[in-house]
Amino acid sequence: MSENRLTITDERTGKQYQVQIQDGTIRANDLRQIKVSADDFGLMTYDPAYLNTASCRSSITYIDGDKGILRYRGYPIEQLAGTCTFLEVAYLLLNGELPNQEQLAAWETRVLRHTMLHETSKKFLENFRYDAHPMTMLISTLAAMSTVYPESKNIHDATNRQKQTIRLIAKMPTLSAYCYRHRLGLPYIYPDRDLSFTENFMNMMWRFMEPKYVANPILARALDVLFILHADHEQNCSTSTMRSVGSSQADPYLSMGAATAALSGPLHGGANEEVLRMLDHIGSKEAIPAFIKTVKDGHGKLMGFGHRVYKNFDPRAQIIKKTADEVFTVTGYNPKIEIARELERIALEDEYFIKRRLYPNVDFYSGIIYEAMGFRPDLFTVLFAIPRVVGWLAQWEEMVTDPEQKISRPRQIYTGYDERQFVPMEKRS
Ligand code: COA
């Protein structure tokens, strides 16, 4: 009978060691017993960018990158995106189970009650330059909100954590809409609790003189679907940042400011904005082969392509393509979709992309939909952040309550000088 053990022979010493295998994993700390001498620190693993290291146990999101599977709390993303509202999925991610009708109604009421921003946060936003990037405004204002809710530092109190969680989810659309309107010099619109989560966001973005904003139901639903698709994605760069900063027991506003900063980079959430700029740069279907050649020659990347985990297809990209068609029935056709589809077709037949298993990811088509709906490209990553707040908070809660977690602190392989004598200023060359 096979044992869940790994036997390691250290050829340096001839000694044998056994380490336990659990869930297809060995504990890196079990390798520390492997030493060449008593004062040896013990064997470590070297894993830049965490290509093969599990940093936590999590029951929130499951991904099988080879099969293109994404599930929240066990439910396939296709089923959730096909039937649920964003707040329903948020409840699922945070609580582990889908809400019944009564629980959902209470949850929606609770979230919508917290959508108003403290006036100091509004004033803080007003001081940014007129052309400040919305993502940078968002990151800074999230961190500044820590001063509005100093009790959030008490991260060991479950009730307190829940209160901050609701606040953050509820205020994120308000904050995002204010960032947008500040850039355009438009007056801020206060939240409207009669509307759904996504309708209210649209209201705060786009209401002008009309006394009551009426959202187009197809667009509001499309936004709900996009928010569901972006709500969590297990241990990605920004979520790992949320966990890492949170592990120092920083409050959730500060941890989320850091997570949002991680999301803003072009290799992560910032990719959706870059895709639109790339499509603009390409300009026409005829220019695609020349553009692909520049990418293959090592000049830049095909933005919206490739993923650390998905190696056959990104299930979110499949759902987004369908949502795009629905949005276009309302907004009219975005001609950039033609360039995007042709780019995808050519890339998927190209040896360079086939060999490296590069496929369109969630960001490849989302920007085209957002643009058709009237969002400007510099707001696209903010639209990613609004729903991802839920994932960050669910993962933060899991981290805070996990007895195995400690302050995040990797090791290094030191490659610098050995000890050397200090050189006085007059003797330095
Ligand atoms: N365009 C062109 N080549 C790409 C590429 C892209 N979008 N993504 C990866 N590659 C190439 C790399 O250059 C590398 O080639 P090499 O083996 O010749 O050196 C190979 O594919 C493996 O890529 P690597 O950078 O090791 O993969 P990763 O897992 O570290 O990176 C991403 C994953 C997502 C960061 C990367 O695919 C990327 O930068 N994509 C574009 C940005 C994007 O869309 N991000 C959103 C992710 S949801």
Give the pLDDT score at 306.
Answer: 93
Mean pLDDT, range 387-407, rounded to an integer: 98
pLDDT tens digits along 275-307: 999 999 999 999 999 999 999 999 999 999 999
For ligand 1, atom 40, name the residue with the nearest CA: 306
Pocket lining: 246 vs ligand 1, CB cutoff 6 Å: no
* Structural Rg of the chain based on CA atoms: 24
Mean pLDDT, range 323-349, rounded to an integer: 91
* Catalytic residue flag (residue 363): yes
CA quadruple 70, 85, 142, 274: dihedral, nearest 10: 60
Residue 181 has pLDDT above 70, yes or no: yes
* Catalytic residue flag (residue 194): no
Residue 265 has pLDDT above 60, yes or no: yes
- What secondary structure does DSSP assign to 87-135, as a single string? HHHHHHHHHSS---HHHHHHHHHHHHHT-PPPHHHHHHHHTS-TT--HH
| Prediction pTM value | 0.94
Residue 376 has pLDDT above 60, yes or no: yes
Cα–Cα distance, 299 to 161 (Å, whole number): 46
Cα–Cα distance, 314 to 316 (Å, whole number): 5
Distance 297 CA to ligand 1 centre (A): 14
Residue 397 has pLDDT above 70, yes or no: yes
Mean pLDDT, range 202-230, rounded to an integer: 96
3-class secondary structure, 85: coil
Look at the domain 62-400 and name its fold: Citrate Synthase; domain 1 (1.10.580)
**Span of 22-31, 55-64, 224-233, 341-350 with lowest mean pLDDT:** 341-350
Give the pLDDT score at 284.
Answer: 93
Residue 392 has pLDDT above 80, yes or no: yes
For ligand 1, atom 41, name the residue with the nearest CA: 303
Paired with 5 in beta bridges are 20
Q: How confident is the model at residue 241 (pLDDT cuts 50, 70, 90)?
A: very high
Give the pLDDT score at 371.
Answer: 92
Catalytic residue among 114, 268, 350, 402: 268
Residue 1 has pLDDT above 70, yes or no: no
Residue 219 has pLDDT above 60, yes or no: yes
Pocket lining: 231 vs ligand 1, CB cutoff 6 Å: no
Q: How confident is the model at residue 321 (pLDDT cuts 50, 70, 90)?
A: confident
Which ligand 1 atom is nearest residue 236's CA?
48
Residue to probe by mutation, ligand 1, list 307, 380, 388, most atoms within 8 Å of CB:
307
Yes or no: say if 199 and 220 are a contact pair by the CB < 8 Å rule. Answer: yes
pLDDT tens digits along 25-47: 999 999 999 999 999 999 999 99
Ranges in the chain annotated CATH 1.10.580.10: 62-400
Pocket lining: 270 vs ligand 1, CB cutoff 6 Å: no
Backbone angles phi, psi at 282, to 5 degrees: -65, -45
Backbone angles phi, psi at 20, to 5 degrees: -75, 140
Distance 370 CA to ligand 1 centre (A): 24
Pocket lining: 305 vs ligand 1, CB cutoff 6 Å: yes
User: Within 10 Å of residue 216's Cβ, how many Cβ atoms?
Assistant: 14
Q: How confident is the model at residue 160 (pLDDT cuts 50, 70, 90)?
A: very high
Mean pLDDT, range 132-144, rounded to an integer: 97
Q: How confident is the model at residue 114 (pLDDT cuts 50, 70, 90)?
A: very high
Yes or no: say if 234 and 210 are a contact pair by the CB < 8 Å rule. Answer: no
Mean pLDDT, range 199-225, rounded to an integer: 96
- What secondary structure does DSSP assign to 59-92, as a single string? SSEEEETTTTEEEETTEEHHHHHHH--HHHHHHH
3-class secondary structure, 415: coil
Tokens of 399: 């981290």
Catalytic residue among 133, 230, 233, 307: 307
Residue to probe by mutation, ligand 1, list 70, 235, 291, 356, most atoms within 8 Å of CB:
356
Distance 356 CA to ligand 1 centre (A): 9
Q: How confident is the model at residue 334 (pLDDT cuts 50, 70, 90)?
A: confident
Q: How confident is the model at residue 78 (pLDDT cuts 50, 70, 90)?
A: very high
Mean pLDDT, range 203-223, rounded to an integer: 96
Q: Cα 226–228–234 angle (5° rounding)?
A: 115
Q: Which amino acid is at 399?
A: M
Give the pLDDT score at 312.
Answer: 86
Cα–Cα distance, 6 to 15 (Å, whole number): 14
What percent of the chain clears pLDDT 70, i.e. is strictly above it?
100
Distance 51 CA to ligand 1 centre (A): 13
Tell me which residue of 378, 114, 368, 345 sits closest to 226, measured CA to CA.
368
Residue 330 has pLDDT above 60, yes or no: yes
Q: How confident is the model at residue 201 (pLDDT cuts 50, 70, 90)?
A: very high
